Structure 1
Amino acid sequence: MIQEKYIVLIDDEHDVVEAVSEMLELEGFVVTAFTDPKKALRSLTNTSRSVVLCDVRMPSVDGLTLLSSIQHRAPQVPVLLMSGHGDIPMAIEAMKLGAFDFIEKPLNPDEVIAKLDLAQLQALQTLASSQSQEPTDSAAIETVIIGQSKAMETIRKQVLALANTGVDTIINGETGTGKEVVARALHQFSRRQTKPFVAINCGGMTESIIESELFGHEAGSFTSANKRRIGKIEQANGGTLFLDEIESMPIAVQIKLLRVIQERVIERVGGNELIPVDIVVVAASKADLAALSDTGEFRSDLFYRLNIASLNLPPLRQRKEDIQSLFRHFVGQASQKYKTRPSTIYSEQIQQLSRHEWPGNVRELRNVADRFVLGIVGDGFDLQTPIQDASETEFAFEKQMEQYERNVLTEALIESAGNINDVSSKLNLPRKTLYRKMKKHHLDKDDFKVT
């Protein structure tokens, strides 16, 4: 189930309210519009899940006064301000006082949608934080495991179903597909959420190092062991132990880990005391553990003991409809991290992202988002800002509507992987009309097919 996006739109001009409402509703937002800011304020409560988009200057109230009133009535609601050029100083002052952002008029549809998506994400994260006592909140999990594809919807359901069972789990997936994100979600949405989540990467460690890291050691157990050290397994007591790249774990350590999983006790290196541990083990592998166990490269008894449940993460190239939501999310994170204003994302850039095969998966997409926000060129795939004519920056109403129509078509083609029947049904357009509009905007369905 896709989380609905609620917008409270406030502007004293009826024409603006109608045009912006239509634009946002076509984009999938649920819009409640007001020309009276006092009525809009009364509609908000401390449980509202909305984002407010309002004009800075209205006859009965200015942006700073309205912002203050919203913050007192519904402090968790993000507020975006629409400002004419002359009102930008007021909008900047409002941001200092806690407004999420401002958007300069005349409105650029791409910029409006991008910033509303970021504000909606903040609203959901605030809601998830305030409802942390409800770990199975499906709305909250959509802010953790992001994606609109059927594959990711299935993953979210599986995580919520598994989280409170307390069973050990294997997460399978290529490098960069988000295995640790899913592991953390299994912990976050379980009854163990207040206990430790302890992660260790098994790759590149010698047998002695990983044994000491996992089990800890007693003072004097080897030359440099000057004092007792608590291992990762013991640190995770009561919570979740995440073993990344478990396929790299030496066989001798696998044998000792098997005993821990079977008996839930450990012995520190150099010690004789049996220490009970209460843990859930989540292991991740980019290799086929079943095949490795068949060839003796991985202990088959450990594999079967861990593989009570398994989650299989698809590579990003197989779920390209998730690229847009992931990229917008990463751009938002990068903007907060580097303290920059959220960058405007154009439909042509989303189309460019969708054509890439993403060998580094979600991790590579995150890196591209960071470079996009910083405006730098790095190794690998780089997103180039589309070049626009000077005349296009004027954003006349007709030009905005043409651009918006192209954006809607582009995003529907991306989500449907170029399937014309799906696009026609999604947009409720006859195929003949759809083809005519695609030709008008120079869009080819083959450019959107997933290969």
Structure 2
Amino acid sequence: MEILLIDDEAMVRDSLTEMLELEGFRVRAFADPRRALAELSPGREAVLLTDVRMPGLDGLELLQRVQARDRELPVILMSGHGDIPMAIQAMKEGAYDFLEKPLQPEALLERLHSAMAQRRLSLQPQSQPEGEDPLARTLLGQSAPMQRLREQLRVLAAAQVDTLIYGETGTGKDVSARALHDAGPRRDKRFVAINCGAMPEHLLESELFGHEAGAFTGAQRRHIGKIEVAHGGTLFLDEIESMPLAAQIRLLRVLQERTIERVGGTDPIPVRITVIAASKADLAELSEQGRFRADLYYRLNVACLHLPPLRERKEDLAELFRFHARQAADRYQRPLPGLRPSQLARLEQHDWPGNVRELRNVAERFVLGVAGEGLNLDQPEPTADGDGDADFEQQLEGYERRLIMDSLRRHQGQINKAAEHLNLTRKTLYRKMKKYQLDKWDYRG
């Protein structure tokens, strides 16, 4: 990965080149932006760092020409005459970031490292694994909540204990359950999933426990239930809060005795399984209300996982979005569009009530180029005649949020140092962190 540095002032080029090379970067410096363009090929492992005010071809026009060749090449603009309106305009037109001269070395290095990480991600082949760890390949994201989740999963997978998974709709409870199975010693055995909320009540017991021939009208032959099928492996019960009370009583007996009896049968059948149950509702609260058996709740709650909603791990948005966009492009045999920085900013500003499931739908619409309910990245940018003021505020807030996140990450969540670096009071920084839903503990090293 190299830095393509463009500045018409020789002193600036020489000083920046020396500083960056001392920091370990490979630098190609150009006085003429046209020469840099002539050497720029799509897919180049590089980040572009360019001045804005240059004779002949300024930085904003250069940005447009770069975007025409490679939409995902990060372009960082710098100017001694810059102001917030110019920064917003640059971000709208696809700049990765904007820095004002005189440059602060720490801020420049931080932006370059961040831009290089995004460039590596955009160039990553679809077939390239995310890492040797199967959990890292399945549960994507490098945010602190996801790292904690993967560590908990590793421990529980080795212990083979019954586990309860909590999470909002779309957070990936089924994916986590499957990852828990695949990371454990029973990975070669069956993983059997059943959605308790999608199964009619009169069929649920037969599906779970099986039945003997003649057990009820229409039962012409013996049926092996899901629990028996999962023998030796893992049984996943999704939306367990929807399970009827009668079935809960029978499930409790299975968990206590590790045996089942088919409907209409009397012979106990031993089963050796790990049970994973998932719920979007608080089972403890439901048990207090009499809507879920307390004894079953305590029996299931040997171990408990809480899946973080997407709004609490927005650092993972770019990686998740590109992963699902690549999958959609492959599935529909469509080219993979480049993701502009302004579109990435819209992803970060969205609250994601549908979590990863909603993000996957947005990625599919993005690849197909169609509109739908919710966020659409291909919608035209608001114009100054209409919602320009609202768009300006959104861009400005996104820029401010990134500055705060960068400072918290650099100072490992230490509020005093982050506030001093941002030239803010502690009170102001706390207020802004609350506004943007940022938690200092997510940045503690």
- TM-score range (shorter-chain normalised) is 0.5 to 0.7
Post-superposition offset of 1:314: 2.1
Post-superposition offset of 1:117: 2.1
Structure 2 portions without partners, runs of 5+: 6-23, 27-38, 46-66, 75-93, 95-115, 383-394, 424-431, 439-445
Post-superposition offset of 1:226: 2.1
The corresponding residue for 1:368 is 362
Among 320, 332, 337, which residue is 1:343 paired with?
337
In structure 2, distance between residues paired with 1:158 and 1:147 = 15
Post-superposition offset of 1:421: 3.5
Match status 1:117 vs 2:104: no
Alignment of 1:351-366 (within 5 A): 351-366=345-360
In structure 2, distance between residues paired with 1:424 and 1:82 = 28
Q: Residues 363-388 of structure 1: CA distance to partner in whole angstroms, max 9, x if unpaired?
A: 11111111111111011222235669
Post-superposition offset of 1:333: 1.3
Give the direction of change, closer, same or farther, for the CA distance of 1:277–1:192 in structure 2 (3 Å limit): same
Match status 1:449 vs 2:436: yes
In structure 1, distance between residues paired with 2:246 and 2:131 = 46
Post-superposition offset of 1:326: 1.4
* 2:231–2:273 contact (8 Å) kept in structure 1: yes
Among 168, 172, 176, which residue is 1:182 paired with?
176
Q: Residues 404-449 of structure 1: CA distance to partner in whole angstroms, max 9, x if unpaired?
A: xxx9x979944x7x457326759xx9999989xxxxxxxxx89982
Alignment of 1:2-401 (within 5 A): 18-19=3-4, 108-110=72-74, 116-117=120-121, 120=124, 122=126, 124-125=128-129, 128=132, 137=133, 140-384=134-378
Q: Residues 294-333 of structure 1: CA distance to partner in whole angstroms, max 9, x if unpaired?
A: 1211111111111000001122222222222211111111
Among 386, 407, 425, which residue is 1:421 paired with?
407
* 1:196–1:240 contact (8 Å) kept in structure 2: yes
* 2:131–2:137 contact (8 Å) kept in structure 1: no
The corresponding residue for 1:65 is none
- Partner SS for 1:281: strand
In structure 1, distance between residues paired with 2:164 and 2:302 = 8
Identity of aligned residues (%): 48
Structure 1 portions without partners, runs of 5+: 1-8, 10-16, 21-30, 34-57, 59-79, 84-102, 129-136, 389-406, 436-444
TM-score by length of 2: 0.64
**How many aligned residue pairs are there?**
324
* 2:236–2:277 contact (8 Å) kept in structure 1: yes
In structure 1, distance between residues paired with 2:131 and 2:140 = 16
In structure 1, distance between residues paired with 2:208 and 2:170 = 24
TM-score by length of 1: 0.63
- Partner SS for 1:230: coil
In our comparison, the structure showing a higher alpha carbon Rg is 2
In structure 1, distance between residues paired with 2:206 and 2:246 = 13
Q: Residues 138-179 of structure 1: CA distance to partner in whole angstroms, max 9, x if unpaired?
A: xx3212111222111110100011101010000011111111
* 1:289–1:298 contact (8 Å) kept in structure 2: yes
Q: Residues 169-214 of structure 1: CA distance to partner in whole angstroms, max 9, x if unpaired?
A: 0001111111111101100100111111111110143332110110
Moved over 6 A (4+): 111-115, 409-412, 429-435, 445-448
One-letter amino acid matched to 1:109 = L
Give the direction of change, closer, same or farther, for the CA distance of 1:167–1:412 in structure 2 (3 Å limit): farther
